[in-house]
Amino acid sequence: MADIEGIKPANLQFNERAKILCANYKVPLLANELTNSYVVLDENPKLCFKTMDLQNSFTQGKFSTRISRIQTEHLIKKAFALDAYKVKTILDTTGGLGHDAFILALLGQKVTVVEKNIGLCILLEEALNALPELPYFIKAKSNLTIINGDSREFLKTPQNFDVIYVDPMFNSQKKLKRSKQMEFLDSYLDEYDDPSKDFYKEHFQRLVVKKELRATTGIKDSSAISFKGSSIRYDVYLKGEK
């Protein structure tokens, strides 16, 4: 799996922020070095890999539309069994760009996002930093904890989450029409595997696995419940849910 070789500030205005990120993620500050994979830090940070690049904005594009329609997120509410009277603790084991995690945080849940790729962690962190200082965004950000690490190792610690979430969709084997974001991730994370079976072996209360609608089920469990949308579904497994 690729990861960044450093961070390039677009100009002096972004130098200090770049230095902070370099220190936090232990990667070098780049000037004009030729590298295969790096983050360019400016008003719209981008992750560059070979000849491609990826941006992650929560204030424009399709995801911003999804945010504006937060109360129509009926499918995710059902899959995670969200309750207006109880905040759930959720472990997002494949953080990626953090879209589903942010929706869950906006819905009032406490979400720990674990992502082992530094480049994706930075894109998520900067997308959150760029949000307007509005009360509901401030609250949502306070509901999120971002960890750069391997979620398999994280699950060895005695944490007790209400829901474990796995989204391996970007590594799809199906030849479906893919968005530019998904095409980038398929290439950038070409060795990224599907950890859902590993998490299924762990002690959990509720395990939610996101799949393309017609994708095969990776876990054989006849008791699983599926919540289906127009193009995706959530497979839900229960062991010790209270």
CATH of the domain at 199: 3.40.50.150
Cα 105 to the center of its chain, rounded Å: 12
One-letter amino acid of 96: G
| CB 29 within 8 Å of CB 7 | yes
Q: Scan for tokens 């306070």, then name that residue.
A: 142
Return the bridge partners of 35, or none. none
Average pLDDT over residues 176-180: 63
Q: Are residues 118 and 68 in the same domain?
A: yes
Q: Are residues 73 and 98 in the same domain?
A: yes
Is residue 49 helix, strand or coil? strand
- Which among 188, 187, 112 has a CA at the least distance from the CA of 143? 112
CA–CA distance, 113 with 172 (Å, rounded to integer): 21
CA–CA distance, 93 with 149 (Å, rounded to integer): 10
Q: Are residues 79 and 189 in the same domain?
A: yes
CA–CA distance, 68 with 108 (Å, rounded to integer): 15
Q: Are residues 116 and 29 in the same domain?
A: no
Query: Between 183 and 10, whose confidence is greater?
Result: 10
Q: Which domain holds residue 19?
A: 7-55
Q: Are residues 45 and 160 in the same domain?
A: no
Average pLDDT over residues 149-176: 74
User: Is residue 50 assigned to a domain?
Assistant: yes
User: Is residue 2 assigned to a domain?
Assistant: no
User: Is residue 129 assigned to a domain?
Assistant: yes
Q: Are residues 138 and 179 in the same domain?
A: yes
Q: Is the pLDDT of residue 170 over 60?
A: no
Return the bridge partners of 53, or none. 48
Q: Are residues 21 and 116 in the same domain?
A: no
Q: Are residues 38 and 82 in the same domain?
A: no
Task: Tell the burial category of 141 from Cβ atoms under 10 Å away from its Cβ (0-12, 13-18, 19+).
Answer: middle
Query: Between 222 and 6, whose confidence is greater?
Result: 6
User: Is residue 152 assigned to a domain?
Assistant: yes
pLDDT in tens, 93-150: 999 999 999 999 999 999 999 999 999 999 999 999 999 999 999 999 999 999 999 8
User: Is residue 1 assigned to a domain?
Assistant: no
One-letter amino acid of 49: F
Cα 167 to the center of its chain, rounded Å: 8
CA–CA distance, 114 with 108 (Å, rounded to integer): 19
CA–CA distance, 3 with 25 (Å, rounded to integer): 11
Number of domains in the chain: 2
User: Is residue 194 assigned to a domain?
Assistant: yes
Q: Are residues 15 and 117 in the same domain?
A: no
Q: Is the pLDDT of residue 185 over 90?
A: no
Q: Are residues 51 and 68 in the same domain?
A: no
Return the bridge partners of 172, or none. none
Q: Are residues 31 and 73 in the same domain?
A: no
Tell me the chain's radius of gyration from C-alpha atoms.
18
| CB 128 within 8 Å of CB 141 | yes
Q: Are residues 174 and 133 in the same domain?
A: yes
CA–CA distance, 39 with 191 (Å, rounded to integer): 20
CA–CA distance, 117 with 14 (Å, rounded to integer): 22
| CB 80 within 8 Å of CB 105 | no
- What is the DSSP track for 13-49? GGHHHHHHHHHHHT-PBPSS---SEEEEESSS-EEEE
Phi, psi of 209 (to 5 degrees): -120, 125
Q: What is the pLDDT of residue 122?
A: 98
